[in-house]
């Protein structure tokens, strides 16, 4: 179980000969990988990706494995990955293999100095964004550490050294299905029933001049003129005015998203903003109320007034009810995940593991996010009331809440294609700052802007899928693949902070979409329990957001720890059982046909042998 590799790259290499994405890959002189589930590779050929080239190779490096001790082998660094392969000491012994995309690396540090005398005390330690730390020992006399350290720094953090991310070197790989076309804003609005009598689509922000962190296409109340939209934008933080995320086709109740109003300490009012929210309320004939879900703790929202922000006053905004959802900020979440990593890797105390996980508060934070989404669902579905969602700037907690509530309300978003649309729409087009939150290619590992906001959303999705095992078309491996490539920098999907930046950098033509990769080999990402008929799918999901139910996602956070990881993903085992069931059904049918034929033949023989009357 010591052999580790990126789950998201495992199957890409495994299918290199048949997958259109990797068909032009070249074989490595390193031989073969070894691998299976949870990062253990089994006899799959190592294959270079398009644009991947060797940067350095050392044949006398020791991997200091926290589970089985020092392992001697060869280390290769390409412009995409770090690859280590042990040299087997005995015949038939499978080698230890480590395969880490360089984008996963958060920081690299030298350990030991010229006077270090302890065994394996001189080398490099690598801290990864996917919960791993890796330590490699070098021999002092051949100075191999220096070149390895320099190559890792240059290739893992190219944006800090005037380089470019690997996705641009990898380029736009041709495939039969282009993932960049998965989300078309106007088509998605038509699916929701827009335009209609109360809502219209607008390209007012086509040049990104009104709001540089918003998409080019919005849906807004038909009663609001373009001039009103411009004025409302000026009264919202970062000009992120309320625009449509989702509409209930049956009741016309809506979910809209925005940022906080700029009321400040003095409690400033804005007639256009107040009128605009009334337009959103009036567009829903089923209710004369409007609910504002402020993701923040109330104390934080009040504190934001001192910075010029704040929240809507129920006195100023008529027929509006405001709720605070008590979801903490990016800094709290970053610290919480750091504690989870300490608990899961490299070693754990079984007797204290659950209490340590509880003390990280990660599960409690997940409950808060999920509970907030359920409250939105109840307002929209049960009360037929429209909801406005915001936090401070509207690109972190707001995205979590709108995306999760839409996932719970609309079965379409629980399909592979629909989930891809959901991410493209609520996270990418509406300006979640992936570059700043993840730190692609940047060596500033202690940057205060980094935070696992999107990871937390994916974790919440997994929690829901665990409670409703047949409600999702995709499986756990699909979610893990998304997380792996959130960091890898192999694809252009999660690069940049805004839609405007992606257009400027021409990602659509210069990089490959993650959805191209996934949709080109879809079978491995499908949930075998998902009903074939869409009319059997549950329309609205209401998960239990309680720490008694919410659990640590060991398949993600503990996959590098052989003492905690699950040897086989549940979906794979389920698929095997269903396949066995199909075989048994087929065998039963074959036996039934044979029995029918035998009975028929016996009856025929009996009739022929009977004397004529």
> Could you give the 3-state DSSP secondary structure of residue 118?
coil
Q: Find out whether 467 and 544 touch, Cβ atoms under 8 Å.
A: yes
How far, in Å, are 594, 608, 611 from residue 605 at the CA level? 16, 5, 12
Per annotation, catalytic residue among 368, 391, 489, 496:
391
Distances (CA, A) of 99 to 210, 459, 546: 44, 24, 37
Annotation says 367 is catalytic: no
Task: Report whether 199 belongs to an annotated binding site.
Answer: no
CB under 8 A, 24+ apart: contacts of 137-145: 137/61, 137/62, 137/63, 137/64, 137/70, 138/58, 138/60, 138/61, 138/62, 139/60, 140/114, 140/116, 142/60, 144/58, 144/60, 144/61, 145/110
The answer to whether 302 is a known ligand-binding residue is no
**307 is known to lie in a ligand binding site:** yes
Beta strands in 325-470 (DSSP E): 386-390
Please, are residues 136 and 73 in contact by the beta-carbon 8 Å criterion?
no
427, 294 Cβ separation under 8 angstroms: no
Q: Return all residues near 228 (Cβ < 8 A) that are at least 6 apart.
A: 272, 275, 276
* CA–CA distances in Å: residue 335 to residues 332, 561, 610: 5, 21, 89
What length does the chain have?
A: 613
Is position 391 annotated in a ligand binding site?
A: yes
Angle (CA) 332 476 483, round 5°: 45
Quick one: CA torsion of 158, 159, 161, 165, rounded to 10 degrees?
30
> What secondary structure letter does DSSP report for 65?
E
- How far is Cα 245 from Cα 466, in angstroms, rounded to an integer? 26
Alpha carbon distances (Å) from 130 to 126, 292, 569, 590: 12, 35, 18, 49
Q: If DSSP codes are grouped into helix, strand and coil, which group holds residue 440? A: coil
- Nearest Cα to Cα of residue 2 among 565, 558, 560, 480: 560
Tokens describing residue 388: 């406005």
The H-or-E segment that residue 429 falls in is none
Residue 149, SS3 per DSSP? helix
Q: Does residue 304 have a known ligand-binding role? A: yes
> Is 396 marked as binding a ligand?
yes
CB 256 within 8 A of CB 289: no
Torsion, Cα 341 366 457 245, to 10 degrees, reads: -160
Residue 306 assigned as binding residue = yes
Binding-site residues for substrate, in ranges, read 304-307, 329-330, 391-397
Known catalytic residues?
391
Binding-site residues, in ranges, read 304-307, 329-330, 391-397
């Amino acid at each position: 179980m010591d052999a580790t590799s990126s789950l998201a790259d495992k199957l890409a290499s495994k299918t290199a000969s048949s997958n259109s994405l990797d068909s032009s890959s070249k074989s490595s002189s390193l031989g073969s990988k070894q691998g299976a589930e949870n990062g253990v590779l089994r006899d799959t050929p190592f294959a270079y990706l398009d644009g991947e080239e060797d940067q350095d190779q050392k044949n006398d490096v020791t991997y200091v494995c926290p589970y089985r001790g020092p392992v001697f082998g060869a280390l290769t660094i390409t412009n995409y990955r770090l690859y280590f392969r042990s040299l087997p000491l005995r015949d038939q012994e499978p080698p230890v293999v480590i395969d880490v995309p360089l984008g996963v690396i958060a920081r690299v540090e030298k350990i030991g100095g010229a006077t270090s005398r302890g065994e394996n005390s001189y080398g490099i330690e690598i801290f990864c964004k996917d919960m791993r730390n890796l330590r490699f020992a070098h021999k002092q006399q051949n100075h191999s550490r220096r070149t390895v350290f320099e190559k890792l720094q240059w290739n893992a953090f190219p944006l800090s050294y005037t380089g470019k991310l690997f996705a641009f070197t990898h380029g736009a790989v041709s495939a039969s299905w282009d993932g960049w076309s998965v989300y078309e804003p106007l088509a998605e609005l038509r699916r929701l029933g827009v335009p209609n009598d109360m809502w219209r689509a607008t390209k007012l922000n086509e040049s990104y001049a009104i709001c540089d962190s918003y998409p080019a296409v919005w849906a807004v109340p038909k009663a609001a003129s373009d001039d009103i939209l411009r004025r409302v934008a000026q009264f919202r933080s970062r000009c992120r005015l309320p625009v449509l995320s989702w509409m209930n086709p049956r009741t016309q109740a809506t979910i809209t998203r925005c940022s906080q109003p700029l009321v400040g300490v003095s409690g400033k009012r804005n007639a256009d903003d107040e009128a605009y929210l009334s337009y959103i309320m009036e567009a829903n004939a089923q209710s004369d109320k409007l609910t504002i879900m402020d993701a923040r703790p109330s104390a934080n929202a009040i504190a934001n007034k001192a910075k010029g922000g704040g929240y809507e006053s129920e006195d100023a905004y008529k027929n509006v009810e405001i709720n605070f959802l008590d979801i903490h900020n990016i800094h709290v979440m970053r610290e919480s995940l750091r504690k989870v990593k300490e608990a899961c890797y490299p070693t754990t105390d079984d007797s204290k593991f659950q209490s340590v996980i509880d003390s990280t508060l990660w599960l409690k934070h997940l409950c808060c996010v999920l509970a907030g989404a359920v409250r939105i669902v109840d307002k929209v579905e049960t009360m037929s009331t429209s909801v406005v969602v915001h936090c401070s700037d509207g690109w972190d907690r707001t995205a979590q809440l709108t995306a999760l509530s839409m996932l719970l309300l609309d079965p379409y978003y629980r399909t592979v294609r629909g989930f891809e649309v959901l991410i493209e729409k609520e996270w990418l087009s509406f300006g979640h700052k992936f570059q700043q939150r993840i730190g692609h290619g940047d060596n500033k590992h202690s940057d205060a802007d980094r935070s696992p906001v999107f990871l937390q959303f994916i974790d919440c999705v997994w929690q829901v899928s665990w409670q409703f095992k047949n409600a999702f078309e995709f499986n756990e491996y699909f979610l893990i693949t998304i997380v792996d490539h959130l960091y890898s920098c192999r694809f252009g999907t999660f690069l940049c902070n805004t839609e405007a930046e992606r257009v400027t950098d021409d990602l659509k033509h210069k990089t490959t979409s993650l959805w191209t990769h996934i949709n080109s080999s879809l079978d491995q990402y499908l949930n075998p329990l998902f009903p074939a008929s869409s009319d059997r799918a549950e329309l609205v999901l209401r998960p239990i957001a309680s720490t008694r139910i919410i659990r640590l996602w060991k398949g993600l956070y503990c996959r590098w720890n052989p003492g905690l990881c699950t040897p086989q993903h549940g979906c794979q085992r389920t698929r095997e059982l269903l396949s066995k069931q199909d075989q048994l059904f087929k065998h039963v049918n074959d036996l039934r046909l044979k029995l029918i034929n035998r009975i028929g033949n016996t009856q025929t023989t009996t009739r022929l042998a009977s004397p004529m009357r």
